[in-house]
A = this chain, B = another copy of it.
Amino acid sequence: MAGFNFLNEFFLFPLSGKLQPILATATETEVEPAMVVAGVLLSLVAIYIASKAGGEFFNWLGFPPVLGELVGGVVIGISALNLVIFPESGADSSASVVISILEATAGLAPDAAEATFQVQSEVLEVLSELGVIILLFEIGLESNIRDLMQVGIQSLIVAIVGVTLPFVAGTAGMMMIFHVSAVPAIFAGAALTATSIGITSRVLAEINRLNTQEGQIILGAAVIDDVLGIIILAVVASLAKTGEVDVVNAIYLIISASVFLVGAILLGRFFNDTFVFFGEKFKTRGRAVIPALTIALFMSYIGTAIHLEAILGAFAAGLVLDNLDQTEVGRELEELIRPISDVVVPIFFVTVGTKTNLGVLNPAIPTNREGLVIAIFLIVVAIVGKVACGFSVFGLENINRLAVGVGMVPRGEVGLVFASVGSASGALSPALDVAIILMVIITTFLAPPLLRVVFGEGEAEEVTETSG
């Protein structure tokens, strides 16, 4: 019970005259709530500066801003400046620059530093989790069930092949070549599965290829891909909790994740009608956003409660809120969810960056070299697996199968979600974690220039432009 005293004290501190008997003997340092708030505020300032500095710089270079946010996080995190770091890295408060600044400028007592560091980190972890929940909710809102039903057989096959090939090759390779045990191997394989819809569609739009046959197949496949990937992620993360792969359990989890998603979609009309009903009745501020967010948070809770993942619920909630453009409150939601996502999602990406310890891949240290080799292996499987799936397109004349495959290469946001969940579940070693993040970065960097090459940039004029 001794461990609770600290938190009891933290909370009961304002009522110190009324402390429960158990606290009368406690000797721990009290944490000032104001110092925790100060630490969170300062960390958020660092996170936002990193997100904008990185995002804008990468955007200016012609790369997806999300990669810049990640790299911004790497700069302020454990790899470099140590501004925002987390205890899970093994670091203590003396390594945290934010804590040092609090000591120097806000009068944080040195003996309260460690406890303040712990509590502050915990709050940032939950903020980052809320960020990824909103991210997946928004991705769900952008996908919709009608599109999923209409993607066509070509997209379905490309998606299934594009998920299976890298997953099997990645998992088998990790186990057979690198003798990694089953759970981390499956995690690495799973992280190779999901294409980023956001990045792919942006690049296709930029080179005016969104409405070509290839573009439509790629987009359809990327949507299904996301659904398959999120199911795999939920299953793998749940397996990681026990640490071993039990086939019966795995089948049970696949079924429960699928039932959850399908059930959510079948109940979709109910959720959607509830949202529209309340949204249109409501007259006060937040009338569209609060009901939608309540549904998203509730389904995220269900996802967590059934021992899958919160993000599975958030994605399902986004998926079922459909036909938004047909109601006033739906259009309001589409518009107003963006600024909310703009402020919470970067917390997630930057936090992933801060936890990425590039040091574990420093080639000067001999024991790190295996990690580097693993990273190279994952990158090769990630690219070859997706490029190969393009060749599963059948029966169409004059289709650029190579372009379809290359279009499936970027992993982007979704890959980072995989790395983050894997790392939090404890299944991934630091080296494997960094290897997956490097795989995401490299595939996302390579996709835009490669797509331009395989489509042949000069021929874009023949296609009507459909997107700004």
Contact A52 B278 (CB under 8 A): yes
* Min distance, Cβ A51 to any Cβ of chain B, angstroms: 7
Contact A304 B34 (CB under 8 A): yes
Known: A343-B290, A343-B293. A41 touches B3 (CB 8 A): no
Contact A56 B283 (CB under 8 A): yes
CB < 8 Å neighbour of A49 from B41, B102, B294, B341: B294
Contact A33 B424 (CB under 8 A): yes
- A289–B11 CA distance with the chains assembled, in angstroms: 32
Contact A285 B6 (CB under 8 A): no
- A123–B121 CA distance with the chains assembled, in angstroms: 10
Contact with B along A119-135 (1 / 0, CB 8 A): 10111011001100100
A291 on the interface (CB 8 Å rule)?
yes
- A311–B6 CA distance with the chains assembled, in angstroms: 27
A248 on the interface (CB 8 Å rule)?
no
Known: A40-B126, A301-B38, A304-B34. A342 touches B8 (CB 8 A): no
List 15 additional A-B contacts (Cβ < 8 Å) besides A10-B122, A122-B122: A2-B5, A2-B28, A3-B6, A3-B28, A7-B119, A8-B87, A15-B90, A15-B426, A41-B133, A45-B298, A59-B283, A59-B284, A102-B305, A290-B342, A337-B339
**What are 13 A-B interface contacts by the 8 Å CB criterion?**
A2-B6, A3-B3, A3-B5, A4-B114, A14-B424, A20-B90, A34-B304, A37-B126, A41-B298, A41-B310, A56-B282, A106-B301, A337-B339
Chain A residues proximal to chain B, CB less than 8 Å: 1-16, 18, 20, 26, 28-29, 33-34, 36-38, 40-42, 44-45, 48-49, 51-52, 55-56, 59-60, 65, 86-88, 90, 102, 105-107, 114-115, 118-119, 121-123, 125-126, 129-130, 133, 278, 281-286, 289-291, 293-294, 297-298, 300-301, 304-305, 307, 310, 336-343, 346, 423-426
